[in-house]
A and B are shown apart, each in its own frame.
Chain A
Amino acid sequence: MSELLTGSAGERRLFLGNEAIVRGALEAGVALVTTYPGTPASEIGDRCYGISRQTDLQFEFSTNEKVALEVAAGASACGWRVLCAMKHVGLNVAADALMTLAYVGVKGGMVIVSADDPSLFSSQNEQDNRYYAKLAGLPMLEPATPEEAKAMTLAAFALSEQLKVPVLLRTTTRVNHTRGPVTLGELAARPGPGRFYKDPFHLVMVPAVARQAHVRLLAAQDQARALAETSVFNEISGAGAWGIVTSGVAGTYAADALTELGLTGKVRLLKLGFTHPLPATLLGDFLAQVSKVLVVEELEPYLEDGLKAIAQDRGLSLTIRGKGPGLFSRLYEYHPGLVREVVARFFGVASEAPVPLVPEKILEQPLPDRPPNLCAGCPHRAMYYAVKIALKDLGVEGIFPTDIGCYTLGLLPPLSMADYLICMGSSVSTAAGISLATGQKVVAFIGDSTFFHSGLPALVNAVHHKHDFLLVILDNGTTAMTGHQPHPGVSLMPPGYPGEHVPIVRVVKALGVEQLWVVNPFKYKESLAATKEALTASGIRVLISQAPCHLYAQRLSGKRRTARFQVTKSCGECRDCLDNFGCPAMYLEKGDAGQLQIDQELCSGCAFCVQWCENIRPVGVAGKGKE
């Protein structure tokens, strides 16, 4: 049974922030959870999937975040409590629904988790989604710890039902992926079937209805502001003539900084958890009591700008600072030492920052990087190799719009198979633009899950407008990068997964693609021949590379392949495998001067390299020895 379903009220457990959110939702009696997997929110879906197999919780990995939000909205309209989780950029995809759902409102409580990623640990940007709360006019809670994440999730459902609008729970990676003690409450039962009551003049957003709905949304915001004024999530500690206003995990750094600098008697700390709408009276009163304020928040000056506006309203002229030279940056995640230093500087107290040791200097030589790499035996590398060699043989340069998944790692040498990337699904549409503008040979790469997420409309567009490029769909049967979640085209799935299989081949054909190749990338001769054909044809062409994610297939079967490969002859000057392929099982003995070898522990036994290099033979067939 999932750990999140056990334990009695009052018990303390060590939960990941994401697990705490799930526990909070279960204690609120959530009936449906929807998501599209994305780091740092992924574990919310993973845990809920597990729970949905063990209880009557409804859960789905939706095809994208907009779909996830709309499925949740429909259920909420029937009275169910629903939670919809996504990474920050996912909310861009769902934004169309979000903006007007704020008008439509909800019936059952609805919590939308937006997991932001300062420092871009695994994202394409570090946008600050607090502005979405402002843009949509929705209440927002911002937890700093797993304990708060649980408490706020629980509170958010009630708040949503009280105000009849969705509530945004805005986290950051450091909250999602921190484990901390969480105090359990009682699990709530789920309500059973809901019912849809017709009310088109409130629920169908045509202009006349929406005009009234906007009035209701503004009224809900006023009500939300009043609730923020007295929220337990906005707390003041310490005393003194100076102030700090903070939110999120940055608040923990600020609190530690005040303790460590001995400033708790000099600086009042206002830690905000209910951050939209801002509690103008609470903040105005706070500002009126201090002579200068430092705003400690990661990313954009969201609170800082709000505070300055409130000070202006109240006719206060104190100093309010946050972002700027010598203070905080709008870039990247903060950390305790950095916040301590800025706090010390701003309030003019001494801080004994340790002089950091620089490993490279102490060793007097650079330390090698350790870039992430596609696994040994990864099907993406095999497909990339075929495209690379096919282009080489044909003597043409390829331009590679790429997409989001494990295969984005194809950016790194020696593969170097990524030239342009914006967001989910952009490979297909940007390929159209590039080929239109240049006439160059464009080969776009997209994964199976990403294809279902947002590749479909772009491919229909390419068919309709007769664009000229090759789209390679890297179908590894799962959503590998985020932890192997299923999607409509899955071939590898967790045991008991109930989803209906929607084969990509059928979808692509149905979209009107007439030039279609399906290959197993591990059959080199065939995939190379098909790739060459596909490259030389013109118009819109799709090549589907079908082979399961090696890592997940192995994990599901619990078995390792037993075949292993080795280099049996001296390679001389040849470095083809290192220059074009780069399997992590391959290495050079004694640095760059030595003979190529295959690490038997790392080799996955995929038997791909052996098909194009005569020097590589199976272990045991050509004997142990090498020349």
Chain B
Amino acid sequence: MALTQNPEPKTQNPKENLRIFLTGVGGQGTLLASRLLGEAALAAGYNPMVSETHGMAQRGGIVVSTVILGDLQSPLISAGEADIVLGFEALEAFRALDRCHAKTLVIANTATQVPYPVAIGQARYPSVAQMFQRLAAQVGALLAFDAGALAHKSGSPLAVNMVLLGALAATDSLPIPAQDILSVICTRTKEKFLASNLQAFDLGAAAARDPGNWQRR
């Protein structure tokens, strides 16, 4: 029984539940990425739930968000239950392994942002190659590439989120057409960043089409 008279969604939610976990460092645009995914899903007729971290964690801490599609009401993703992980930073992508299961698709930026304890020599940043090698052995598939470099190439170093969205859209693992994501990006982006954002999205999509970036179990 609905609480309010909701009009029926235009289309039904997919039978398959899809849980997407986004993780990165404050300032990388994870929240915008999850919001755009949610908006695109809503436009496509789904009932997305998107949860966000705000507050203290945004001062250079870890920022995670989730996007949930399907016949689910919960806005959160428990350990081992993410179907897709978008890792905006190498270490954070690896840390999110606790959200993954054997079929999870992980899309990760190989670029690093050194945490402060590492910067001052109190902790060691693990080898990126080793992290991704071990991660790939545990999950369904790993798509890893330097999204930071592609963002730079697009002319907007802050567009890592657009690069990763482009890659995600190109994997065909979403029930939402890439076109819907693109049109949400267009309405949500300031004029002056639009060209670079769209280019970043395309560069991400191209990276996803490069078999050299994939490791599958």
Tell me the A residues contacting B by CB distance below 8 Å.
Answer: 10, 12-14, 16, 39-40, 42-43, 121-122, 144-145, 147-148, 151, 174, 177-181, 183, 232-233, 235, 237, 249, 252-253, 255-256, 259, 273, 335-338, 353-359, 362-363, 365-375, 406, 409, 414, 481-482, 578, 582, 584, 586-588, 591-594
**Contacts of A594 on B, CB cut-off 8 Å?**
121
Could you give 16 example pairs across A and B, Cβ below 8 Å? Answer: A12-B9, A16-B52, A39-B54, A43-B54, A121-B55, A121-B57, A178-B51, A180-B49, A355-B80, A359-B97, A363-B134, A367-B94, A368-B117, A588-B119, A592-B120, A592-B122
Query: Could you tell me if A369 and B115 are in contact, using CB atoms closer than 8 angstroms?
Result: yes
Query: Could you tell me if B7 and A255 are in contact, using CB atoms closer than 8 angstroms?
Result: no
Q: Which of B6, B53, B75, B79 contacts A249 (CB 8 A)?
A: B75
Query: Could you tell me if A587 and B119 are in contact, using CB atoms closer than 8 angstroms?
Result: yes
Query: Could you tell me if A367 and B126 are in contact, using CB atoms closer than 8 angstroms?
Result: yes
Does B11 reach chain A (CB closer than 8 Å)?
Answer: no
Distance of A450 from chain B, by nearest CB (Å): 15
> Known contacts A151-B3, A178-B75, A370-B61; can you find 16 more A-B pairs with CB under 8 A?
A14-B35, A179-B48, A252-B73, A256-B73, A259-B71, A336-B76, A336-B81, A354-B80, A354-B101, A370-B25, A370-B62, A371-B61, A375-B60, A481-B55, A482-B55, A594-B121
Q: Which of B60, B77, B101, B124 contacts A370 (CB 8 A)?
A: B60
Query: Could you tell me if A14 and B120 are in contact, using CB atoms closer than 8 angstroms?
Result: no
Does B116 reach chain A (CB closer than 8 Å)?
Answer: yes
**Contacts of B62 on A, CB cut-off 8 Å?**
370
Query: Could you tell me if A582 and B60 are in contact, using CB atoms closer than 8 angstroms?
Result: no
Query: Could you tell me if B120 and A336 are in contact, using CB atoms closer than 8 angstroms?
Result: no
CA distance A273 to B34 in the complex (A): 28
Could you mark each residue 116-134 of chain B with 1 if its beta carbon is under 8 Å from any beta carbon of chain A, else 0? 1111111111100011001
Q: Which of B38, B47, B51, B120 contacts A578 (CB 8 A)?
A: B120
Query: Could you tell me if B4 and A151 are in contact, using CB atoms closer than 8 angstroms?
Result: yes
Distance of B151 from chain A, by nearest CB (Å): 13
Query: Could you tell me if B91 and A367 are in contact, using CB atoms closer than 8 angstroms?
Result: yes
In this complex, what residue of A is CB-closest to B157?
A: A601
Query: Could you tell me if A14 and B54 are in contact, using CB atoms closer than 8 angstroms?
Result: no
Interface centre among A177, A233, A409, A481 (most CB of B within 10 A): A177
Contacts of B1-20 to chain A: CB distance below 8 A: 1, 3-7, 9
Distance of A367 from chain B, by nearest CB (Å): 6
CA distance A145 to B75 in the complex (A): 9
CA distance A429 to B115 in the complex (A): 36
Does B72 reach chain A (CB closer than 8 Å)?
Answer: yes
**Contacts of B9 on A, CB cut-off 8 Å?**
12
In this complex, what residue of B is CB-closest to A590?
A: B121
Query: Could you tell me if A356 and B59 are in contact, using CB atoms closer than 8 angstroms?
Result: no
Does B26 reach chain A (CB closer than 8 Å)?
Answer: yes
CA distance A234 to B91 in the complex (A): 44
In this complex, what residue of B is CB-closest to A122?
A: B55
Q: Which of B7, B60, B72, B134 contacts A373 (CB 8 A)?
A: B60
CA distance A121 to B76 in the complex (A): 15
**Contacts of A237 on B, CB cut-off 8 Å?**
1
Query: Could you tell me if A10 and B7 are in contact, using CB atoms closer than 8 angstroms?
Result: yes
Distance of A616 from chain B, by nearest CB (Å): 16
Distance of A88 from chain B, by nearest CB (Å): 13
Query: Could you tell me if A181 and B48 are in contact, using CB atoms closer than 8 angstroms?
Result: yes
Distance of A271 from chain B, by nearest CB (Å): 10
**Contacts of B58 on A, CB cut-off 8 Å?**
372
Distance of B184 from chain A, by nearest CB (Å): 10
A-B pairs, top 9 by smallest CB distance, nearest first, are A592-B121, A337-B78, A354-B80, A122-B55, A587-B119, A368-B123, A372-B61, A252-B73, A39-B55
Q: Which of A180, A354, A582 contacts B79 (CB 8 A)?
A: A354
Interface centre among B73, B91, B122 (most CB of A within 10 A): B73
Query: Could you tell me if B74 and A362 are in contact, using CB atoms closer than 8 angstroms?
Result: no
**Contacts of B119 on A, CB cut-off 8 Å?**
584, 586-588
**Contacts of B92 on A, CB cut-off 8 Å?**
370
Distance of B48 from chain A, by nearest CB (Å): 7
Does B95 reach chain A (CB closer than 8 Å)?
Answer: yes
- Given A14-B48, A587-B119, A592-B121: A372 and B75 interface contact (C-beta under 8 Å): no
- Given A337-B81, A362-B97: A179 and B49 interface contact (C-beta under 8 Å): yes
Does B142 reach chain A (CB closer than 8 Å)?
Answer: no
Interface centre among B61, B92, B100, B120 (most CB of A within 10 A): B120
Query: Could you tell me if A177 and B25 are in contact, using CB atoms closer than 8 angstroms?
Result: no
In this complex, what residue of B is CB-closest to A87?
A: B55
In this complex, what residue of B is CB-closest to A362?
A: B134
CA distance A374 to B122 in the complex (A): 18
CA distance A592 to B56 in the complex (A): 28
Distance of A470 from chain B, by nearest CB (Å): 26
- Given A39-B54, A174-B51: A363 and B130 interface contact (C-beta under 8 Å): yes
Query: Could you tell me if A181 and B42 are in contact, using CB atoms closer than 8 angstroms?
Result: yes
Query: Could you tell me if A372 and B73 are in contact, using CB atoms closer than 8 angstroms?
Result: no
Does B39 reach chain A (CB closer than 8 Å)?
Answer: yes
Distance of B121 from chain A, by nearest CB (Å): 3
**Contacts of A14 on B, CB cut-off 8 Å?**
35, 38-39, 42, 48, 50
CA distance A357 to B81 in the complex (A): 11
**Contacts of A587 on B, CB cut-off 8 Å?**
114, 119-120
**Contacts of B51 on A, CB cut-off 8 Å?**
174, 177-179
**Contacts of A181 on B, CB cut-off 8 Å?**
42, 47-48
Query: Could you tell me if B98 and A177 are in contact, using CB atoms closer than 8 angstroms?
Result: no
Q: Which of B48, B114, B122 contacts A180 (CB 8 A)?
A: B48
Query: Could you tell me if B120 and A588 are in contact, using CB atoms closer than 8 angstroms?
Result: yes
Query: Could you tell me if A582 and B116 are in contact, using CB atoms closer than 8 angstroms?
Result: yes
CA distance A181 to B6 in the complex (A): 10
- Given A151-B3, A177-B54, A372-B56: A365 and B126 interface contact (C-beta under 8 Å): yes
In this complex, what residue of A is CB-closest to B96?
A: A359
Query: Could you tell me if A591 and B124 are in contact, using CB atoms closer than 8 angstroms?
Result: yes
Interface centre among A237, A255, A363, A482 (most CB of B within 10 A): A363
Query: Could you tell me if B117 and A371 are in contact, using CB atoms closer than 8 angstroms?
Result: yes
Distance of B50 from chain A, by nearest CB (Å): 4
**Contacts of A369 on B, CB cut-off 8 Å?**
115, 117, 123
**Contacts of A180 on B, CB cut-off 8 Å?**
47-50, 75
CA distance A249 to B49 in the complex (A): 12
CA distance A367 to B124 in the complex (A): 8
Distance of A232 from chain B, by nearest CB (Å): 6
CA distance A374 to B34 in the complex (A): 26
In this complex, what residue of A is CB-closest to B54?
A: A177
In this complex, what residue of B is CB-closest to A233?
A: B3
Distance of A248 from chain B, by nearest CB (Å): 12
- Given A40-B55, A179-B35, A235-B1: A368 and B94 interface contact (C-beta under 8 Å): no
**Contacts of A253 on B, CB cut-off 8 Å?**
74, 76
Query: Could you tell me if A273 and B3 are in contact, using CB atoms closer than 8 angstroms?
Result: yes
CA distance A23 to B21 in the complex (A): 28
Interface centre among A10, A368, A582 (most CB of B within 10 A): A368
CA distance A594 to B34 in the complex (A): 38
Query: Could you tell me if B60 and A335 are in contact, using CB atoms closer than 8 angstroms?
Result: no
Q: Which of A13, A144, A409 contacts B59 (CB 8 A)?
A: A409
Does B138 reach chain A (CB closer than 8 Å)?
Answer: yes
Query: Could you tell me if A148 and B3 are in contact, using CB atoms closer than 8 angstroms?
Result: yes
CA distance A335 to B74 in the complex (A): 8
Query: Could you tell me if B120 and A358 are in contact, using CB atoms closer than 8 angstroms?
Result: no
Query: Could you tell me if B91 and A375 are in contact, using CB atoms closer than 8 angstroms?
Result: no
In this complex, what residue of A is CB-closest to B114?
A: A587
